[in-house]
Amino acid sequence: MADNHQPHFLFITYPFQGHINPALHLAKHLATTTGAAVTFSTTISAHRRMFSSTPNSDKGFNDGLITYLPFSDGFDEEGNKGGTMHAKENHSLFRTNTKRDISILINDLAAGGRPVTCMVTVFLPWLVDIANQHGIPFVFYWIQAATMFAIYYHFFQGFESLIQAQAGEPSFTVCLPGLLMPIQIKDLSPFLTDTDYDSYFGSILQLMREIFEILDREQERNMKPRVLINTFQEWETDALASVSAEIETIPVGLLPKQTNSSSSGYLFKEDEKKYMEWLDTKEEESVVYISFGSMSVMKKEQIEEMVKGLKESKKPYLWVLRKDNREKELMMVEWCSQVRVLAHKAVGCFVTHCGWNSTLESLACGVPMVCVPQWIDQGMNAKLVESLWGCGVRCEVDGDGDGVVKGEELVRCLELVMGDGEKGVEIRRKAKMLKDKALEAVGGVESLLMLI
């Protein structure tokens, strides 16, 4: 870094809400607490949706804290996301366009007197080459649990053959170095058990392999690589320690902020229903909040079973669901500010798919969970919630193989988590304890961030 320039972090993300949220949260925290300049970049199509109410919404601008500059991924027009293009071909085009446009963006920033001094990316390993070409330090931001990072690390360090050989045995148990919990094949991401490298899952596994190969190369150069991880030290001490000899993991978990959607980079328009006012009318810890993330598509049968169970439980609930699946008499919204909802005193339980953002936000707000994992890292997150932290329970799916959680199973889990029994009291106590641990940890984040 030149002596006459302040630190300038360039954040680059995929155009997914689950990637944008943690990256933007960290970017804002860096800008606010360290005085660094921060530029945030995602695709033109996502940028337009984030700032649809801003004049010239496909152009860059500064909001007084962060500069937002979009890049082209080759699919700039809304709805043109590659059509029937094969996933591998789509990803190749995304990679090529990203490398070109980010290189241009870096040159433009330097020409404008704002040279980048550190590049931070989420799952974009090919940009390491661009950073190296421009002489810019580079750091990965891992937005899943530290446990998932450790699992991938050990997978590529000797466990790949064993895990893939047992891919067809869901109950097969693997014990990975340093991790307290034995892990079953069914808990792992499908990316780790798909050996077809031309498939979507296979292409993601190759992406992860590339990330860890880059970290390996850093070690071969006698440089201990650094990775930012969206977690709290106090939550995942053992997982962080299990890779610490080879990789410097920097936990940068931050308490989620209760902001309105208009200022927090959402890709979706907030529902106009007055759900916060509705929550104000409910008793403390009485409401069930249900959301399965921004990318989830639920089967009609699953929706019907969820409605059946929720009605049978006789508990008030707020459900984030697409418009075409709503029932008019129920409190359902298409999009809401999840953190504001979870932080509301009326919310007593979160029925969640266990994406890491949702899991972290629920833990940080002290809300116990009923877990209904779907895919990717969600099964492992549910295992952490139920088995390691004890702040929730996992719904069992119907045994006929269709993967549906029946209404009566949802009722059982809600009663277990929200009821007056000993188990429910203990689950809620542990949820509050994890929130307290997060509050204690936040004070040390600034010193950790200075390491980058």
Question: Could you tell me which residues come within 8 angstroms of residue 83 by beta carbon, excluding any fewer than 6 positions away?
Answer: none
Structure tokens that stand for 384 in this block: 């952490």
| Residue 317 φ/ψ, nearest 5 degrees | -145, 155
Q: Are 290 and 318 in contact (CB under 8 A)?
A: yes
Structure tokens that stand for 109 in this block: 């920033």
Q: Are 352 and 362 in contact (CB under 8 A)?
A: yes
CA torsion sign for 257, 263, 265, 271 is: positive
Q: Give the integer Cα–Cα distance in Å for 58 and 43.
A: 10
Neighbours of 292 (CB within 10 A): 23
Q: Give the integer Cα–Cα distance in Å for 73 and 95.
A: 8
| Active site annotation includes 5 | no
Q: Give the integer Cα–Cα distance in Å for 53 and 89.
A: 33
* Nearest Cα to Cα of residue 323 among 333, 308, 315: 333
* Nearest Cα to Cα of residue 102 among 76, 77, 130, 124: 130
Of 19, 29, 47, 353, which one is the catalytic site residue?
19
Between vectors from CA 21 to CA 375 and to CA 356, what angle results, nearest 5°? 30
Positions marked active-site: 19
